[in-house]
Amino acid sequence: MSEDFMLDTDDLERRMAGAISSLRTEFASLRTGRGSASMLDPIQVDAYGQMTPINQVGTVNVPEPRMVTINVWDKALVGKVEKAIRESGLGINPQLNGTIIMLPIPELNEERRTQLSKVAGGYAENARVSIRNIRRDGMDQIKKAKADGMGEDDQKLWESEMEDLTKKNIKAIDDLLETKQTEIMQV
């Protein structure tokens, strides 16, 4: 019965790739002294009774490298969008001009760069935890198969494959973090 055991490595790899993709999205939201529309992606606005991404309540533009603008479509949501940006922790002070919210991107000082670098490290650690949880799920499947009669050699083979997959993805996270921290600390 257990001779047919196949660890679904494709599913595990897909889930690990999802964790890395999520990390990339979080890294894109960290500003590095230049404006980008993606820095607003994680911010949600309470619009019409549900949490909605900013890009679904207005048009986000980057007219110049140090300025991001949001043209809010519904005048009633301007205050909510402004509040969401203030409370997001981006460290940007929104300026209102009718239904347009302007976000001037201040020059990053050394203290803010260090702080952003630590935030990036926190994002990377969360991604590592996700990878380890996926690894644990895989190991649990292997242990269950062992209990169902899988041989010890097969168990060691699958565990080794699971470890290799985990190490590969943790290294990818570490590489992404190193790149992002270098980008943040660059003056």
Q: Which pLDDT score is estimated for 177?
A: 95
Q: Which pLDDT score is estimated for 2?
A: 43
Q: Which domains does the chain have, with CATH numbers?
A: 2-27+109-185 (1.10.132.20), 45-104 (3.30.1360.40)
User: How is 159-182 classified by DSSP, letter by letter?
Assistant: HHHHHHHHHHHHHHHHHHHHHHHH
The pLDDT tens digits for 77-126 are 999 999 998 888 777 889 999 889 999 887 778 888 888 889 899 999 99
Distance CA 148, CA 47 (A): 51
